[in-house]
Amino acid sequence: QKEVEQDPGPLSVPEGAIVSLNCTYSNSAFQYFMWYRQYSRKGPELLMYTYSSGNKEDGRFTAQVDKSSKYISLFIRDSQPSDSATYLCAMSFTGANSKLTFGKGITLSVRP
């Protein structure tokens, strides 16, 4: 089983839709959970960052972590064409030498 699994997509939704992006993981020791957004031919940029379980909201974006199920989600409300990008989940342990483990990424297209 891979450490981090992410739906491969691609995903296409109409403008205004609620989008749910998900990752599952196998190692219960992960404590930091991140979502990166990567526009075409650009580097990934940090979108959301959470520690341990719970929800975090930032504008139209909500990150959710369920450690009991080893499942994280990113919700995008009122999706816009400018949200069209590849979304990467990433996670790490605490402490030194805790490198990030990434999912493969899912490409989202929001149709006007």
Residue among 60 and 104 whose Cβ is closer to other proteins: 104
Counting contacts by CB under 8 A, is residue 95 touching other proteins? Answer: yes
Backbone angles phi, psi at 6, to 5 degrees: -135, 135
Burial of 5 (0-12, 13-18, 19+ CB in 10 A): middle
Q: Which stretch binds other proteins (CB under 8 A): 11-19, 58-66, 74-82, 103-111?
A: 103-111
Binds other proteins by CB under 8 A, chosen from 11, 20, 32, 84 = 32
Note whether 61 binds other proteins by CB under 8 A: no
Per CB under 8 A, the list member of 27, 52, 80, 94 interacting with other proteins is: 94
Q: Could you give the CA distance from residue 48 to residue 34 in angstroms, rounded to a whole number?
A: 6
| The total number of residues written for the chain in this structure | 112
Burial of 74 (0-12, 13-18, 19+ CB in 10 A): buried
Residue from 19, 21, 24, 34 touching other proteins (CB under 8 A): that is 34
Pairing mode of beta strands 45-51, 32-38: antiparallel
Provide the minimum distance between the beta carbon of 18 and other proteins in the complex, in angstroms, as a whole number: 26
Q: What is the contact surface with other proteins in residues (CB under 8 A)?
A: 4, 8, 31-32, 34, 36, 41-46, 49, 88, 92-105
